[in-house]
Structure 1
Amino acid sequence: MCGIAGFTGRYDDAAGILSRMLDSIAYRGPDMRGERVEPHMAFGWLRLAIIAPEGGYQPRHDEASGDCLIFNGEIYDYQNVARQLQAEGIHLADASDTEVLFQAIRHWGLDAALDRLDGMFAFAFRDGEDGSITLVRDRFGEKPLYYAERQGQLIFASEIKALLEHPALDAVGPDIAGLHDFLHFEYVPGIETGWLGIRRLAPGHMLRWDAEEGLDDLDAQECYWHPSRYPVASDDVPPYEEAVAAIGQSLERSVAERLVADVPLGLFLSGGLDSSLIAAYAKRHKPDITAYTIRMPSGSYDETPYTVRVAEHLGLDHKVIDLSDEDVERVFLKATGMLDEPMADASLIPTYLVCEAARQHVTVAIGGDGADELFAGYAPMRLLKYAGMIGAVPSCAGRALRRLLSLAPPSGGYMGPGFVLQQMSQGFGQPEGDQWHHFMSPFPPEMLARLIPDADALHTRTLDAADGVDLIDDVSRQFLEHYMTGHILTKTDRASMYNSLELRAPFLDRKLAEAALALPSAYKYAGGKGKRLLRSLAEGMLPKEIIRRPKHGFAPPLSDLLRGPLRTAIGDVLNQRDHVLDGWLNHDYVMTLWDQHLKGRADHRKRLYALYILKRVYAKA
């Protein structure tokens, strides 16, 4: 696990540029730094040592061929791949997954190597023969990679803040179309980032830069893996009981592979089904593993009764970390201040807090991300059986309902009835496959029109249809392709890496995911509940109250924080003038929303958090 950065082209201060890029993301790899500066290329690497701490040095370079690699992440099946390489006569210089990846690419070629590997990764490989550089990102987007091109030269890094340290990008500003999308989705979907001319490499994609011609096109990414290649099987569908057993075997294998580390390793336990299943399998393979849970200062967000029940049932060593209001306030300001792209998931705060607490004891943790996307676990799924009716209701009826709801006292509790009705109304009049992201959007259209004076010139992006065999399958795949990558995994990467902690997700295993994608939605969603298959799998492994428990988000008490201890700090940011976004956002309307929330006349927590993030991310643009 680490951070990477690099660029092509000749610069008098190439070493200094590379050093500043790495300095900006130093938390990603505090254990070691490696730099290689050549006349027309610079590769840099930061290491958080996990596997073979005595080896794995980067940049990995072959003097004879000129091949060069920098790599962020983990190859989980690297030991098996190492045996294959050695059987074919390939010498490995050390026992690291870095060496296995390097030699696999050189021996089999990039495409064939990727087909044999499973892991979370982002890497850059320079082909010594033709000088080309290929950027590659893992199948689900667990590890980030961003890039830009200036005058035919490539610049790339694990985070945008590192790119902005390069002199060719020092004048880059916000991409207004991307920010409009952000206010609808709470993240910028696709390969855009909210910064002009800066792209993110999509999951399961690669990008090739040619030494003579540069990039064919800034957006010319090549797909090597995509969920659409694994449609629901039309025939030869296994019986339900066989599918449950097969997924269980695959998940157990994945957990076992992700327990391999040469440093202390623990797990995150939330009391929900996903992390509890991971805990059950982890206990089998690592009996002394410790589970970590945080207890928020607000009682309504206390999940420890459930985590204690799971830990006692499994015989887990369990540490509950009690947090104070001061902890939440401190991390809220610190974590949001470190973001370099707009991403308005408030669960960044508790995720950061549990990573920070666990890092005092371990260097690696495993968690339950990916289960909701693969097994239809998200709350909007419950509304899809009414999708036809919701889509038939005119959007003007949604506006009327929202006006009516605005007259009632707001409820700041998690998923209160007023909040749910308001969000559901945003799906009125929308196509069935698009309703889910309207349900989740912080801003209904009439608010967006007041917030952005030129909103008519912009159009909210329509996500590509996932071509599922039915609505549940289609929406699940959209969650996997868009929401998980842009929202969930961005949050978990930043929260963990800001604390120099590696976070692994056993559900995001290639073979497990491919098997899950091929199963019919009836195996995943039934009786108004998602994750049917996982609930069946958990029978006999977990307490019944955990199996039956509905999904509960990992969210801080945001409404109370905005009105209480963070009122001054957030108000100052929202009220900031002379900001690069002043000509785009209606400042008076921003302050109207703020005033309504403070006085308890409305619950604008999601909207104000999104606006606060925008102001902070672009404060120095």
Structure 2
Amino acid sequence: MLTSGKDAERYDDAVQEGLTCMHHRGPDAAGTWHDGEALFGFNRLAIIDLEHSHQPLRWGPEDNPERYALTFNGEIYNYLELREELQAAGLKFRTEGDSETIVAGYHHFGEDVVEHLRGMFAFVIWDTETRTMFAARDQFGIKPLYYATTPAGTVFASEKKSILEMADTIGLDLSLDQRAIQHYVTLQYTPEPESLHAGIRRLESGCTATLTPGDEVSARRYFRPRFEVRDVAKGQEQDLYDRIAEALEDSVAKHMRADVTVGSFLSGGIDSTAIAALAKRHNPNLLTFTTGFEREGYSEVDVAAESAEAIDAEHIVKIVSPEEYADAIPKIMWYLDDPVADPSLVPLYFVAETARKHVKVVLSGEGADELFGGYTIYKEPLSLAPFEKVPTPLRRELGKLSRVLPEGMKGKSLLERGSKTIEERYYGNARNFNYEQVRRILPDARPEWGHEDVTAPIYEVSRAYGMDPVARMQHLDLFTWMRGDILVKADKINMANSLELRVPFLDKEVFQLAQTIPHDQKIAHGTTKYALRKALEQIVPPHVLHRRKLGFPVPMRHWLAGDELHGWARDQINASQTEHIFNKREVLEMLKEHRDGVSDHSRRLWTVLAFMVWHGIFVEKRIDPKIEKRDYPVDL
């Protein structure tokens, strides 16, 4: 969508080119619409109301039935209930889809419509009467929304590559953002609202935006998680577990709403197994999908198959070879828009590609760890609690002592971590580089662009709300790791295969309950997600109830040291035209140390390699991602 001061339709060809770049997001139908200052374009993946609900969608009240135009990416799971409420208020509907409830809700509730939506969404509404634009993203950031303000106007898109395709026509600045590059290297993803291109930004999760043509985008945050923990009285624990199970049952039921076939991803962990087991209750012919590798210890295929058998679901498996893995990397980096250095992206791509041959929608277990306390690192505040009683000067001295102790000495790591505040030691699940390591490979790195640049404002909010240490870590992950890595790959990699991924754990009703759980119901009895595990005892098979989550593990450490990927990595480093960004000699030394077994640099190397492939595609134009246009049946 593009808003311009005048004659927006003159950019119609450019918008059409941008739509072509996103054909994979909606191969079922495409269309454009313009109104002087606004130009809309849309690719549709038809899920609900297949014959109607085409976009850009026009709607209005009886006295002006085409007042609004809407483009919307996502699904509203409470659209039937919301529709009834709006009809009772006198509003008329012309379709049976969920899109219409958004624009009708906007007419009725105004900007507060986002508070009434239960689902995943990124949408833009143009009001032809007030000549204003309203945009919004869902609470968690499941669906993306990029924007760029240029001499031609402001353009919004679900994927950055569409804006890049229009760059010459709209006068977009294509320079890279050095601060964002350092953030990426530190965190393995580019944190919102940044992108690696200085001229393109993202509307943050849980935010709305308004715009009048010719003005700047004005954003407002509407979602502010507080983690208002409530104590559970002794003897009342089972009531909590029952309410969690009921909330998940309801969420999965709502997420199953579709006019096409819905399947489920299934790894060996409790989260995806729980979703699949609940989905099976609503679809007796449920299909489940998993992926793995031939290398022992890096596949959950057997466990997933056992789970599928236990819930009586038909199970489909994709095994990925090292050769397939390497060949897919450029294609995946193109789909991502900005690199995400998560090796599990590649097996996810292949399992999504496999699933799309059978279904059009899949459910998955993302979000359970962030909401219910599933990461092992969340145990850290408990182990470090005694240090909180030590005066700060003495804690600093303990930190100095830890630095002179030999590597591997017992107690060294405990002293080092105990000497730091939570803000200093925890900056999310992806902590590949500390600042000194960043300086080693990024000569132009600046200390003010370290992880604190991203995390400090988030920690400030959690401190103001009085969250306990575990909740503060969860709160940080909601705004960093989850929306920067987990949800980016969930959206981009599945939509690359024209497959819609739905995440029932990331539901506003589930979150309202999850954020009240005390830390002793998250981390307890030597396990994580304690309350969730108790809630799922009658839902998931016993063999996964207390199994450690692995997701789709990748043997990257072995491959980069061996014949599988070592040569590929060396060739990428040598060919990459990134000498002005990276100290390539240091990167090659890291690769050598990794091959020789001196240090495990696999995650750090992968961070650099992913960027170099991305740079080769989007900046150098040296690498051809070999994207092929694929079309699928509308009503699979």
* TM-score, normalised via structure 1 length: 0.89
State the match for 2:623 in structure 1.
none
Cα distance between partner residues in 2 of 1:591 and 1:97: 52
Q: Judge conservation of contact 2:59–2:104 (CA < 8 Å) in 1.
A: no
Cα distance between partner residues in 2 of 1:169 and 1:560: 45
State the match for 2:625 in structure 1.
none
1:151 Cα deviation after fit: 4.2
Change (3 A) 1:199 1:366: same
Out of 500, 503, 506, the position equivalent to 2:504 is 506
State the match for 2:449 in structure 1.
459
Q: Judge conservation of contact 2:173–2:198 (CA < 8 Å) in 1.
A: no
State the match for 1:352 in structure 2.
349
**Mapped pair 1:198 → 2:197:** no
1:71 Cα deviation after fit: 0.4
* 1:48-106 Cα shifts (integer Å, max 9, x gaps): 11111101111112484532110000000111111222222221111011122222212
State the match for 1:138 in structure 2.
138
**Mapped pair 1:441 → 2:431:** yes
Q: Judge conservation of contact 2:269–2:551 (CA < 8 Å) in 1.
A: no
Counterpart amino acid of residue 349 in structure 1: V
Q: Judge conservation of contact 1:152–1:214 (CA < 8 Å) in 2.
A: no
* 1:273-292 Cα shifts (integer Å, max 9, x gaps): 11111122111121211111
Secondary structure at 2:141's aligned position in 1?
Answer: coil
Cα distance between partner residues in 2 of 1:255 and 1:46: 27
Q: How does 1:101-112 map to 2 (within 5 A)?
A: 101-111=102-112
State the match for 2:162 in structure 1.
162
State the match for 2:340 in structure 1.
343
**Mapped pair 1:6 → 2:8:** no
State the match for 1:252 in structure 2.
249
Q: How does 1:67-78 map to 2 (within 5 A)?
A: 67-78=68-79
Q: Judge conservation of contact 1:375–1:525 (CA < 8 Å) in 2.
A: no
Out of 589, 604, 608, the position equivalent to 1:607 is 604
State the match for 2:523 in structure 1.
525
How many residue pairs get aligned? The number is: 595
Out of 535, 549, 559, the position equivalent to 2:547 is 549
321-330 or 93-102: bigger deviation: 321-330
1:184 Cα deviation after fit: 1.3
Gaps in structure 1 of 5+ consecutive residues = 406-417
Secondary structure at 1:256's aligned position in 2?
Answer: helix
Q: Judge conservation of contact 2:152–2:171 (CA < 8 Å) in 1.
A: no
Cα distance between partner residues in 1 of 2:413 and 2:331: 29
Gaps in structure 2 of 5+ consecutive residues = 389-394, 620-636
* 1:34-56 Cα shifts (integer Å, max 9, x gaps): 11133322111111111111011
Q: Judge conservation of contact 1:339–1:617 (CA < 8 Å) in 2.
A: no
Q: Judge conservation of contact 2:365–2:505 (CA < 8 Å) in 1.
A: yes
The two structures, once aligned, show a CA RMSD in angstroms of: 2.7
**Mapped pair 1:558 → 2:556:** yes
Cα distance between partner residues in 2 of 1:445 and 1:388: 26
State the match for 1:414 in structure 2.
none
Cα distance between partner residues in 2 of 1:71 and 1:51: 13
Counterpart amino acid of residue 593 in structure 2: Q
Cα distance between partner residues in 2 of 1:445 and 1:389: 27
Q: Judge conservation of contact 1:387–1:432 (CA < 8 Å) in 2.
A: no
Cα distance between partner residues in 1 of 2:289 and 2:471: 33
State the match for 2:383 in structure 1.
386
Change (3 A) 1:183 1:395: farther
1:32 Cα deviation after fit: 0.6
State the match for 2:191 in structure 1.
189
Out of 277, 290, 310, the position equivalent to 1:313 is 310
Change (3 A) 1:421 1:96: farther
Secondary structure at 2:525's aligned position in 1?
Answer: coil
* 1:294-337 Cα shifts (integer Å, max 9, x gaps): 23222211212321222222222222233333332332342134
261-270 or 294-303: bigger deviation: 294-303
Secondary structure at 1:154's aligned position in 2?
Answer: strand
Cα distance between partner residues in 2 of 1:543 and 1:196: 48
Secondary structure at 2:176's aligned position in 1?
Answer: coil
Counterpart amino acid of residue 585 in structure 2: D
Cα distance between partner residues in 2 of 1:68 and 1:385: 52
Q: Judge conservation of contact 1:390–1:427 (CA < 8 Å) in 2.
A: no
Q: Judge conservation of contact 1:232–1:517 (CA < 8 Å) in 2.
A: yes
1:456 Cα deviation after fit: 4.0
Cα distance between partner residues in 1 of 2:233 and 2:3: 49
1:469 Cα deviation after fit: 2.8
Secondary structure at 2:54's aligned position in 1?
Answer: coil
State the match for 1:494 in structure 2.
492
516-525 or 391-400: bigger deviation: 391-400
Cα distance between partner residues in 1 of 2:308 and 2:580: 53
1:506 Cα deviation after fit: 0.5
